Amino acid sequence: MAPQDIVSAVEQIKKTLENFMVSIGILIGTILLIYFFTYATLVDSTSSLIWFQVVTSVLMVLVLVYLRRVCFFLTRLKLGRRDGYRALLGRLQAADLAQDVETLAAKLGGDK
């Protein structure tokens, strides 16, 4: 793979990862905000939906703690079927994508 192709592929991978992170973060934040305002009503009405809120809010907080890993998994699912990305994603880890594009491309075999 040419160095400029590696750089453009890494940029696309980082862009997809960031889009997943923003989308999932906003979605979970909105759901937790709704849970915050409906919690008191569910406690007063003794509804069994309170357990659903408790369990899902704990799961969502765990997803927020491991957001980078979860989004990297989703990025691998989305881009992993493409031939140019399959080899790069196989050599990357979630922590590698915190580096800048040039450093990451040099690590993956690009000259830039």
pLDDT digits 0-9 by tens, 39-97: 888 888 877 888 899 999 999 999 999 999 999 999 999 998 888 888 888 888 888 88
Q: What is the pLDDT of residues 3-14, one digit of tens each?
A: 788 888 888 999
Q: Are 85 and 96 in contact (CB under 8 A)?
A: no
Query: What does the alpha-carbon distance between residue 16 and residue 23 come to, in Å, rounded to a whole number?
Result: 11
Q: What is the predicted pLDDT for the residue at 87?
A: 84
- Determine the pLDDT at residue 107: 81
